[in-house]
Structure 1
């Protein structure tokens, strides 16, 4: 069995660029705010940050 080194894998930057090329539709604003409230209720800081950014991207306002 022979293996070839190094194994080529996409880098994180290449994956981000590929994802950036295609526009992904956002869910309805009610779903975004429901997820925001759920993240706040379970004290999920990463989820809260993600939801705040998604709401802001949608055009809503998120206070701190």
Structure 2
């Protein structure tokens, strides 16, 4: 079984565009609920992104 990443140019473009604009403030419970949903769906990339986002919201000095 290969673990190679699939190239997603539209996803990469969306991430670049989102990183240029200010991030809206999300409540930590909302992020954690989405994290649980991504985990249940088996979305490893979504889990990774949401876990990092949860840390950024919980610890304001991280990544700002």
Counterpart position of 1:37: 36
List runs of 5+ in structure 1 lacking aligned partners: 1-11
Of structures 1 and 2, the larger Rg is shown by 1
Structure 2, unaligned runs of 5 or more: 1-11, 60-64
Kept after mapping to 1: 8 A contact 2:38/2:46: yes
Q: Which residue matches 2:45? A: 46
Please report the RMSD computed on the Cα atoms of aligned residues, expressed in angstroms.
Answer: 2.5
TM-score, normalised to structure 1's length?
0.56
Structure-2-length-normalised TM-score: 0.56
Aligned partners of 2:45, 2:53: CA distance in 1, in Å?
12
When residues 48 and 23 of structure 1 are mapped into structure 2, their CA distance, relative to the original with a 3 A threshold, is same
- Identify the structure with the greater helix proportion: 2
